A and B are shown apart, each in its own frame.
Chain A
């Protein structure tokens, strides 16, 4: 027994020393690899994983090679959730990163407590008028009290994905995605009924798929029905308005009819990939994740709109369609860590990353929106659009793109809305009931919140 214990102890010692040695080696490797001696190190926290992370790492490496003053140390935090928690914890510990991705709600808190740098001051020293080149909705989204505090970084819009093979099979034109909400219902009905009634067809194929309690999709539809989300002063919601009721009833009716299905998480996306679901609404960024597993022809289209005042012939004129989509994704903040060299480095990187060429490349490779108008117009972008027509849908929607209210309690509100939406499609009662209750509950939060 004693010999055994001694032998175990020695094994343990050997392993410990091996680990320590290995640690030293890899630490040494990191130092050599970075070549960061003499450069100002700028720490960048982000949440870009999978295919997006590969593009991010590639660009960061290129930036580090492109100049000799700054070294960007990029750290992937895994998810937006973890990132937000880490950023807050680091602020308490006074060890914040120099740059990080964040949502607008947090940005507002950072501004109030002077944790981040106002970008107007940095832009002022530039010879180029950067602000004039930023896509207007993105500029507005990042401007707080007239000042630019964050930079749009990875913003995306929702789009419609549709299975062209299914369209062709049921006799719909594969090059004509639904333009209006009514048209989408008709298409979904055609698709579902065809598969139910045609001998030999896969009976499980259905029209439209989405995730349960999808607040984003609900808000998009409110805009399409011509409604508003919250009042200008942020103290009252518009969820009891007719547009919101229509937006909810639309989904309920499709579900009741059996031409749409709700799934958990990414179920609808998996159904789409498996060819079970013909049309889904999802972020344009899902394209990057789905593309490699899709084995049929698929199209990417702008979200359908709604004709508020139909003409007597009931024809669809593109100009009469009221469309609306809401931005998603995060912005980038530069933290005020008291070292002007780090701030200068952070700004240099942000500027480089969102420049005309790199911005266009980032956008094409990840489908996120570019920051600058000049990126959209660049030859590189135009060439890519000609090669892949599915890429155009997000850019087309920029004309009628909005963003969610930037309220400090917005996450809480969103969560509450999700509860009501969930209840609405589970119980299938009249949409008015859920919308009125939602408005009441949300207003109670908004009234007490400080904005």
Chain B
């Protein structure tokens, strides 16, 4: 008994550093944000208690709904797109071809490059007059577009760039998942005469589902927090606020208009939304996951 308790203690000791960091930098700020969201505060003066009025204002703020909708739009397109392409690439990279290391590196380079640097390069690609994209379209005699300056195209442009940027990260996770699938299952399937598609449908897809579920959950959380590329590529939230996402909106409220209480009310609402989404994933979607 005494021995077991000792073991418990050493486990807590090992967990200690992480717990301390999580509590100081994550748990406490969450409660602090919740508290400040009931105040009006411009940083200079002292906070003034206003009750739930920040939340009431939020419920009535058209720009909040617009930014929420834009964020959902971003997530709804970018998450499935990212999963589709990264799974496809991972399956290709899972083949024993020569110079596989180079290909894996190539797909991973965007991930380790600073998002700010990447955004500046993509700004050039999307430039209406000198951009690479319009130059390519010109070869096929397609009319040039204004891309990031066009309310219709601005968000798709950001999504496409973000998917490309994050691809390598998901590819690595899918590769790990694919390598966990026992080879003998494929051999057996081939002996039974299963086609490529049938092998994917009945072996790869179900056995990869824990990985897919993980990637889906993490990507959804990440896409609700999209900020840097929007900030870098579409200042002021894009043409007609078409790329105004929720984190950028709260950033503007906090650091440009100095309404900290209101910004934190937005932040806390976002936290609740992400929490609800993740809970839904956990309770509902995880049932469909096939843990072998």
Q: Which residues of A contact B (CB under 8 A)?
A: 81, 85, 88-89, 91-92, 109-110, 112-113, 115, 212-213, 264-265, 411-412, 415, 418-419, 422-423, 426
B249–chain A nearest beta-carbon distance, Å: 11
Q: Are B43 and A81 in contact (CB under 8 A)?
A: no
B95–chain A nearest beta-carbon distance, Å: 30
Complex CA distance for A65 and B48, rounded to whole angstroms = 46
Complex CA distance for A212 and B149, rounded to whole angstroms = 10
Q: Are A92 and B43 in contact (CB under 8 A)?
A: yes
Question: With A85-B255, A264-B149 in contact, is A415–B236 under 8 Å at CB?
Answer: yes
- A415: chain B residues within 8 A (beta carbon): 236, 252
Q: Are B240 and A109 in contact (CB under 8 A)?
A: no
Besides the known contacts A115-B44, A264-B149, A418-B236, 8 further A-B residue pairs in the complex with CB atoms under 8 A apart: A109-B42, A109-B44, A112-B44, A212-B149, A265-B235, A411-B256, A422-B239, A422-B240
B140–chain A nearest beta-carbon distance, Å: 23
- B255: chain A residues within 8 A (beta carbon): 85
- A112: chain B residues within 8 A (beta carbon): 44-45
Complex CA distance for A397 and B45, rounded to whole angstroms = 38
Complex CA distance for A91 and B44, rounded to whole angstroms = 7
Q: Are B43 and A91 in contact (CB under 8 A)?
A: yes
Say whether B241 faces chain A, with CB atoms less than 8 Å apart. Answer: yes
Name B206-252 residues within 8 Å CB distance of A.
235-236, 239-241, 252
Question: With A113-B44, A113-B45, A115-B44 in contact, is A419–B240 under 8 Å at CB?
Answer: yes
Say whether B257 faces chain A, with CB atoms less than 8 Å apart. Answer: yes
Report which of A88, A212, A411, A419 forms a contact with B43, defined as CB distance below 8 A: A88
Complex CA distance for A412 and B252, rounded to whole angstroms = 10
A24–chain B nearest beta-carbon distance, Å: 30
19 sample A-B contacts, Cβ–Cβ < 8 Å, listed by A number: A88-B43, A88-B44, A92-B43, A109-B42, A109-B44, A109-B45, A113-B44, A115-B44, A212-B149, A264-B149, A411-B256, A412-B257, A415-B236, A415-B252, A419-B240, A422-B240, A423-B240, A426-B151, A426-B240
Residue of B nearest to A271 (CB): B129
B37–chain A nearest beta-carbon distance, Å: 17
Say whether B55 faces chain A, with CB atoms less than 8 Å apart. Answer: no
Say whether B186 faces chain A, with CB atoms less than 8 Å apart. Answer: no
- In the A-B complex, the 7 residue pairs with the smallest Cβ-Cβ separation, listed nearest first, are A88-B43, A113-B45, A113-B44, A109-B44, A412-B257, A85-B255, A92-B43
Report which of B42, B151, B235, B257 forms a contact with A411, defined as CB distance below 8 A: B257
Say whether B164 faces chain A, with CB atoms less than 8 Å apart. Answer: no
Complex CA distance for A136 and B210, rounded to whole angstroms = 72
Report which of A110, A264, A423, A426 forms a contact with B44, defined as CB distance below 8 A: A110
Say whether B258 faces chain A, with CB atoms less than 8 Å apart. Answer: yes
- A418: chain B residues within 8 A (beta carbon): 236
Name B113-160 residues within 8 Å CB distance of A.
149, 151
- B43: chain A residues within 8 A (beta carbon): 88-89, 91-92
Q: Are B256 and A81 in contact (CB under 8 A)?
A: yes
Residue of A nearest to B149 (CB): A264
Complex CA distance for A91 and B45, rounded to whole angstroms = 9
Complex CA distance for A265 and B120, rounded to whole angstroms = 14
Residue of A nearest to B148 (CB): A264
A79–chain B nearest beta-carbon distance, Å: 12
B52–chain A nearest beta-carbon distance, Å: 17
- B235: chain A residues within 8 A (beta carbon): 265
- A92: chain B residues within 8 A (beta carbon): 43
A78–chain B nearest beta-carbon distance, Å: 14
- B149: chain A residues within 8 A (beta carbon): 212, 264
- A81: chain B residues within 8 A (beta carbon): 256
Complex CA distance for A415 and B187, rounded to whole angstroms = 63
Q: Are B239 and A426 in contact (CB under 8 A)?
A: yes
Complex CA distance for A317 and B248, rounded to whole angstroms = 50
Complex CA distance for A221 and B149, rounded to whole angstroms = 25
Complex CA distance for A85 and B251, rounded to whole angstroms = 12
B237–chain A nearest beta-carbon distance, Å: 9
- A265: chain B residues within 8 A (beta carbon): 235
Complex CA distance for A85 and B43, rounded to whole angstroms = 10
Complex CA distance for A419 and B256, rounded to whole angstroms = 16
What does the 1/0 interface line of B24-48 toward A look like (CB < 8 Å)? 0000000000000000001111000
Complex CA distance for A85 and B42, rounded to whole angstroms = 11
Residue of A nearest to B253 (CB): A412
Residue of A nearest to B252 (CB): A415
Complex CA distance for A91 and B41, rounded to whole angstroms = 13
A416–chain B nearest beta-carbon distance, Å: 9
Residue of B nearest to A88 (CB): B43
- A89: chain B residues within 8 A (beta carbon): 43
Complex CA distance for A113 and B43, rounded to whole angstroms = 11
B28–chain A nearest beta-carbon distance, Å: 17
Residue of B nearest to A411 (CB): B257
Report which of B151, B252, B258 forms a contact with A88, defined as CB distance below 8 A: B258
B35–chain A nearest beta-carbon distance, Å: 16
Complex CA distance for A113 and B46, rounded to whole angstroms = 9
- A423: chain B residues within 8 A (beta carbon): 240
Complex CA distance for A423 and B45, rounded to whole angstroms = 36
